[in-house]
């Protein structure tokens, strides 16, 4: 993967690093994702992002099986 150099305000970089740390990612990944979302026209990008977020959630169903009717129980 090619490297690029960018100029960025120190405060913005500081906030970016804090945000990245809170979200268990890197500033590189933040910039890469933003650029990809901005220029990529693939309509399935949001679906890929959903799966990444679900994997990160590390949630377990504990064997519970869902039925369509369960979605309407509030």
**Span 13-34, pLDDT tens digits:** 999 999 999 999 999 999 998 8
- The more confident residue out of 58 and 29 is 29
**3-class SS at 37?**
helix
* Residues whose CB is less than 8 angstroms from the CB of residue 14 and which lie 6 or more positions away in sequence, other chains included: none
- Mean per-residue pLDDT, 27-54: 83
| 30 Cβ neighbours under 8 A, 6+ residues apart | 16, 19, 20
Mean pLDDT of the region 43-63: 82
Torsion of CA 24, 29, 34, 37, to 10 degrees: -100
Confidence of residue 43 (pLDDT cuts 50, 70, 90): low
Residue 61: phi and psi, rounded to 5, are: -85, -15
User: Is residue 74's pLDDT more than 70?
Assistant: no
Percent of the residues in the chain that have a pLDDT greater than 70, as a whole number: 93
């Amino acid at each position: 993967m090619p490297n690029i150099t960018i100029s960025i305000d120190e405060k913005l970089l500081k906030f970016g690093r804090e945000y990245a740390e809170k979200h268990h990612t890197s500033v590189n990944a933040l910039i890469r994702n933003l650029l990809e979302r901005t220029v990529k026209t693939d309509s399935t990008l949001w679906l890929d992002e959903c799966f990444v977020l679900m994997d990160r959630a590390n949630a377990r169903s504990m064997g519970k099986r869902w039925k369509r009717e369960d979605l309407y129980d509030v």
